[in-house]
């Protein structure tokens, strides 16, 4: 056990970034989960990791390239979903394996050997630099602003696409906005939790809140609260005992999910 960890600036940075991610991941996650797009999170993260790997090799800021890759993938998914509606899941699966395949080739080729692959697959609490923090901060602001400003429209598009288009909203535009923001969020979350577990961070707190939520608004707040408990708790535990942060945070959120099931059982009995 190592309580000195709190004194290290790198860990304070990690907690701060974790706090921001703890807000945006479930905020965008609510819409992803309710629109049954959970798979998209996985696909985007697997593609984003290829961008990160490429960034290392050609010496471009990896996070930026990860974001670009995730954005391209999100548009590709949107296009495929539109073109082949009945094969939506298949196309997502193909994009996902394509991404991780590309990443694995890059990671194991020439310069790629220098990358600490494990950090990108499982996350790391020491890997953040100042630029990363600014980017996470910017993404947080963008997502919060978007959700606050478009709350009504997001609600309607998520509840009922037909009703949304009858009232003049472009469901297509909102689909694109939601997946784009998801791509942004996922790319910045990868650093801390790792590509393999990113989508868990976006979906599990939402799953918890769906169990206990009394209304849509309440569900959103509860998702953020669950997410922060798992994130802060997980990072602190991981820091003290030197565990992989991603795994710790996700295990903690699964524990919360079970608790919320138990709690709601009791209530309804």
Q: Which residues sit at the interface with another protein, rule CB under 8 A?
A: 34, 36, 149-150, 152-153, 155-156, 159-160, 162-169, 209-210, 213-219
Task: Decide if 84 contacts 142 (C-beta within 8 A).
Answer: no
In the complex with another protein, the residue whose CB is nearer, 55 or 213, is 213
Closest approach of another protein to the CB of residue 203, in Å: 14
In terms of Cα–Cα distance, which of 22, 23, 4 is closest to 12?
A: 4
In the complex with another protein, the residue whose CB is nearer, 102 or 174, is 174
Closest approach of another protein to the CB of residue 162, in Å: 6
What is the b/e burial string over 37-76, where b = at least 16 CB atoms within 10 angstroms of the residue's CB? Answer: bbbbbbbbbbbbbbbbbbbbbeeeebbebbbbbbbbbbeb
Secondary structure letter of residue 61 according to DSSP:
-
In the complex with another protein, the residue whose CB is nearer, 121 or 181, is 181
Closest approach of another protein to the CB of residue 215, in Å: 4
- The rounded distance, in Å, linking the Cα atoms of 129 and 267 is 45
Closest approach of another protein to the CB of residue 166, in Å: 5
């Amino acid at each position: 056990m190592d309580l000195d960890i709190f004194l290290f600036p790198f860990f304070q940075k990690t907690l701060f970034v974790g706090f921001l991610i703890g807000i945006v991941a479930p905020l965008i996650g609510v819409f992803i989960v309710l629109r049954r797009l959970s798979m998209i999170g996985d696909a985007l993260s697997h593609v984003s990791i290829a961008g990160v790997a490429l960034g290392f090799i050609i010496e471009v800021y990896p996070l930026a390239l990860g974001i670009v890759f995730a954005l391209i993938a999100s548009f590709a998914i949107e296009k495929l979903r539109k073109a082949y509606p009945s094969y939506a899941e298949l196309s997502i699966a193909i994009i996902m394996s394509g991404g991780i395949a590309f990443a694995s080739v890059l990671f194991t080729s020439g310069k790629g050997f220098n990358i600490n692959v494990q950090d990108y697959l499982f996350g790391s609490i020491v890997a953040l630099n100042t630029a990363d923090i600014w980017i996470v901060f910017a993404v947080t602001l963008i997502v919060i602003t978007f959700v606050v400003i478009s709350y009504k429209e997001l609600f309607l598009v998520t509840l009922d696409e037909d009703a949304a288009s009858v009232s003049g909203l472009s469901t297509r535009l909102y689909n694109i906005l939601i997946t784009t923001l998801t791509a942004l969020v996922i790319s910045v979350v990868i650093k801390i939790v790792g590509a393999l577990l990113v989508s868990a961070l976006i979906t599990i707190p939402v799953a918890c809140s769906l169990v206990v939520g009394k209304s849509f608004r309440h569900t959103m707040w509860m998702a953020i609260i669950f997410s922060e408990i798992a994130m802060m708790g997980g990072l602190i535990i991981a820091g003290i005992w030197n565990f992989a942060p991603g795994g710790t945070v996700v295990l903690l959120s699964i524990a919360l999910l079970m608790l919320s099931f138990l709690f709601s059982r009791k209530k309804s009995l």
